[in-house]
Amino acid sequence: MAGSTLGDLFTITTWGESHGAAIGVVIDGCPAGLSLDETDIQIFLDRRKPGQSRFTTARKEADQARILSGVFEGKTTGTPISIMIENTDHHSADYSAIKDVYRPGHADYTFDAKYGFRDYRGGGRSSGRETIGRVAAGSVAAKILKELGISVHAYTRSIGKIVIPESEYHYSEIEENKLYMPNNEYAQKASAYLDECIHSQDSSGGTIECIVTGMPAGIGEPVFHKLDAALAGAIMSVGAVKGVEIGDGFLASLSKGSKNNDPFYMNGTTIEKASNHSGGILGGMSDGSKIVIRAAIKPTPSISQGQETVKKSDTSSLENTTISIKGRHDPVIVPRAVVVIEAMTAVTILDLIMHNMTSRMDSLIKFYQC
């Protein structure tokens, strides 16, 4: 299988399946000398693990990170870092009844069309559980970015039609509710809506917003490897994501140039912007202001309502059927995907920051002749 690796200089390769023995990631290109242990990784993994509330799958996984290589005496060595997380609570029998049925909204049909064979247990490689490796890698990238004064923070902006107006964001409340929303009142409204979804055997989608602060200007490439293009590609690679916006996003198409342009002004010796419709990116490169990204997350495709689909028989013939999916599934993916979006953002930005070290002669001279 191609396509399990992301990045050029800071690269990550995820491996493993939902119901396999373990799942994990190999990180290559991490500089030597970074202080790192399992605790740094576990903080991130705990934010996406199952069983956190009634709105997440009942699958009970500790999701304990184990560093297998690349770290010695608490410091990275510059060699590949391999991180493993064991699967301990997979109920493969839950999927035996649907092994020949293409679940609506899942990758069953497309995976079968590509490979002619698939691991039907929990979606195999196409499972949301694959994102554990991404989150582990993101924890390392985020720690490096923190050393550079750059922070990446994501949260739930909306669930269904429950959308928090930006004027009512209270970032201190994100960790106070299980939906990771920056407003506890809206989190209660969203919880009530999700209870309705559960009662009607349905699920919900939503949006995740991610903010990057402390970014220097000039990160990204002006043509094919634009910062916004790289971020969109990385975030769209998350299975549940169906759309990405930077700054005003699609609202920019309804605006005028006189409003959409962000005026520049001098703040002492620093160039700043009076507004941020661009979301912190101009011409594919960071402009030094806050980067604002939004990801649209689709509703969980596994629902217990009856759905029409197709079944493949033992003779490989196809026939119409209906399916009602059993097992342990999230009625909403959004809260657990928050840290995944954060991780993919951190990995992408770090890789492009490393690229930027070779963009100017004065940078090379400063590095090698200091």
Q: What is the pLDDT of residues 88-129, one digit of tens each?
A: 866 556 667 778 888 998 888 898 888 887 777 767 788 889
> What is the residue-averaged pLDDT of the chain?
91
For the residues 236-242, what does the mean pLDDT come to? 95
For the residues 13-17, what does the mean pLDDT come to? 94
- What does R_g of the chain's alpha carbons equal in angstroms? 22
Give dist(CA 17, CA 130) in Å, integer: 7
Q: What is the pLDDT of residues 127-144, one digit of tens each?
A: 889 999 999 999 999 999
Give dist(CA 17, CA 279) in Å, integer: 35
Q: What is the pLDDT of residues 25-45, one digit of tens each?
A: 999 999 999 999 999 999 999
Cα pseudo-dihedral 21, 242, 234, 190, rounded to 10: -80
CA 357 to chain centre: 26
Q: Helices (DSSP H) in the chain: which residue ranges? A: 38-45, 108-115, 131-147, 184-199, 227-236, 257-260, 334-356, 361-368
Which residues make Cβ contacts (< 8 Å) with residue 196, sequence separation at least 6? none
Angle between helices 334-356 and 227-236 (to 10 degrees): 140
Give percent of the chain with pLDDT exceeding 70: 92
pLDDT of 59 > 60? The answer is no
Give dist(CA 340, CA 350) in Å, integer: 15
Give dist(CA 18, CA 91) in Å, integer: 10
pLDDT of 327 > 70? The answer is no
Give percent of the chain with pLDDT exceeding 90: 71
Residue 324 binned pLDDT confidence (cut-offs 50, 70, 90): confident
Work out the end-to-end distance of the chain between its first and last CA atoms, rounded to an integer number of angstroms: 44
pLDDT of 290 > 90? The answer is yes
pLDDT on residue 341: 98
